[in-house]
Amino acid sequence: MPKYQYEVKRAPGKATMGVLEAESERAALARLRDMGYFPISIAEYTGESSGESLRQAFTRIKLKDRNVFFRQLANLYESGMPLTRALTTLTEQTSNVKMVEIITQLRDDIQKGGSLADALEEHPQVFPSMVTNLVRAGESGGMLDEVLWRIVTFGEQEEELRGKAWSAMVYPAFLMVMGAIAVFILISFVFPRFVVIFEDFHETLPWPTRFVMGLCDFMGAYWWAVLLGFGCFVAALYSFWRSEQGRAQVDRIALRTPVVGGVVQRYEMAKFARTLGTLIDNGVPILTSMKITVDTLSNTAVAGEVARVQNRVSEGDSISESLHQCKHFTPMVVSMFAIGEESGRLGAVTKRIADAYDIEVDRAVKAMASLLEPILIVVMGIIIGFLVIAMLLPMLTLSAQVV
């Protein structure tokens, strides 16, 4: 079906441009008028310009963009605005180029007679299966506005949790990077000037000085090879992490690492409980909810355990009994699930678990950051101190001889 690029206006608003699919130019004009627009111009769409394509290639849709989209959609839909009109309004308010394109496709799919859930399902890279299933349950139950707000709450809580983890690690990462840059500059460009002076000494230099001089000679000649080798190492490490076996091994190591393992475990528990509780509260079947929850977890080791729990539940076991056989689920989580199953309030109980672990994640991240910062400062201080002392030792020896 051909596409048409249009420019329209809704008095007294400003002109709006966009692209839509239609059988003919006349059909496109009719659709625009039905949407309440006054067409200014319309022409067959020949494709994006190179500038637009380049801009889209480097534009990503982040969790924040998705949260803003659902919050604005929930506000418009709750006010009584039809979905297609609400989506059209969002195309005018959204600055992310890729998000505008997706919203336009959502609107076109709904205008063709599809549901919002079916339209969202066409973009799994932006809207995960959890969101799609929640919307489908809301549409079938006639409570789409309430479900949209629940999606907003869930997304913003997840964004806040991620933000706390990343913000706590910014300063340690900054220290590590700046320390590495300082050492590289000292060895490659500063200390080699001292080496020229030390070569005129007729005395045997201390071993720290000889070691640093050898390191400076090597870095002076092959600094480019060191940078290239480091880049290749990072690329190989990233490729290994992206592979299925590598990701599984890294996730297992992360859970076993002191301090870091506690943060990862708490984060996964909070995500597991909140996702499962939100799905159950919105009427999604328990087995479907657990399957969706598996896909949302970041750590493959924990996700594998949840998948095994799902299999046991499908065979007739309770969730609490299945979780009891898992290594990474704490006794508190198991006990809370048992209480939720006994009382018939599993959704509410899982949300309490998620809230409790959100607090635990915040505390664990702050504790990890407060532990990493002094360790990094001490390590970098020892390295830089050793280099400086190695350069000062010959000067102290020379001063003693002159005296």
Whether 389 is covered by a domain: the verdict is yes
Residue 77 has pLDDT above 80, yes or no: yes
166 lies in the same domain as 42: no
Confidence of residue 57 (pLDDT cuts 50, 70, 90): very low
Q: Domain containing 29: what range?
A: 1-47
Report residue 43: phi and psi, to 5°: -150, 160
Whether 362 is covered by a domain: the verdict is yes
Give the integer Cα–Cα distance in Å for 89 and 87: 5
Highest-scoring range by mean pLDDT, 5-9, 33-37, 79-83, 202-206 = 79-83
Is 181 within 8 Å of 385 (Cβ atoms)? no
212 lies in the same domain as 336: yes
pLDDT score for 56: 47
Which residues fall within 8 angstroms of residue 220, CB to CB, at 6 or more apart?
A: 188, 192
Whether 246 is covered by a domain: the verdict is yes
What confidence tens digit (pLDDT) does each residue in 143-156 have?
888 888 888 888 88
> 160-164, 300-304, 327-331, 354-358: lowest mean pLDDT where?
160-164
- Which CATH number do you get for residue 296? 1.20.81.30
3-class DSSP assignment, residue 206: coil
Cα dihedral value 162, 163, 165, 171, nearest 10: 150
- Which CATH number do you get for residue 32? 3.10.20
Whether 256 is covered by a domain: the verdict is yes
Which residues fall within 8 angstroms of residue 293, CB to CB, at 6 or more apart?
A: 130, 272, 275, 276, 279, 306
Mean pLDDT for 40-53 is 62
Mean pLDDT for 116-140 is 86
Mean pLDDT for 109-122 is 88
Whether 12 is covered by a domain: the verdict is yes
Residue 233 has pLDDT above 90, yes or no: yes
What confidence tens digit (pLDDT) does each residue in 87-105 have?
888 887 777 778 888 888 8
Cα dihedral value 209, 214, 215, 221, nearest 10: 140
Whether 86 is covered by a domain: the verdict is no
What confidence tens digit (pLDDT) does each residue in 59-74 have?
578 888 888 999 999 9
pLDDT score for 54: 43
Count of the separate structural domains present in the chain: 2
184 lies in the same domain as 42: no
Whether 105 is covered by a domain: the verdict is no
Whether 318 is covered by a domain: the verdict is yes
DSSP codes joined into one string, 138-191:
HHHHT-HHHHHHHHHHHHHHHHHHHHHHHHHHHHHHHHHHHHHHHHHHIIIIIH
pLDDT score for 403: 47
Residue 9 parent element (H or E): strand 3-9
Q: Which of 151, 123, 153 is nearest to 137 (CA)?
A: 151
Q: Which of 99, 112, 111, 55 is nearest to 73 (CA)?
A: 99
Confidence of residue 47 (pLDDT cuts 50, 70, 90): low
Conformation bin of residue 42: beta by default, left when phi > 0, alpha when psi is -120 to 50? beta
Residue 51 has pLDDT above 50, yes or no: no
| Structure-block tokens of residue 53 | 């394509």
Q: Decide which of 47, 62, 85 is a domain's last residue.
A: 47
Give the integer Cα–Cα distance in Å for 131 and 148: 9
Global pTM exceeds 0.85: no
The single-letter code of the amino acid at 26 is: R
pLDDT score for 188: 77
Mean pLDDT for 332-336 is 89
pLDDT score for 228: 92
Length of the chain: 403
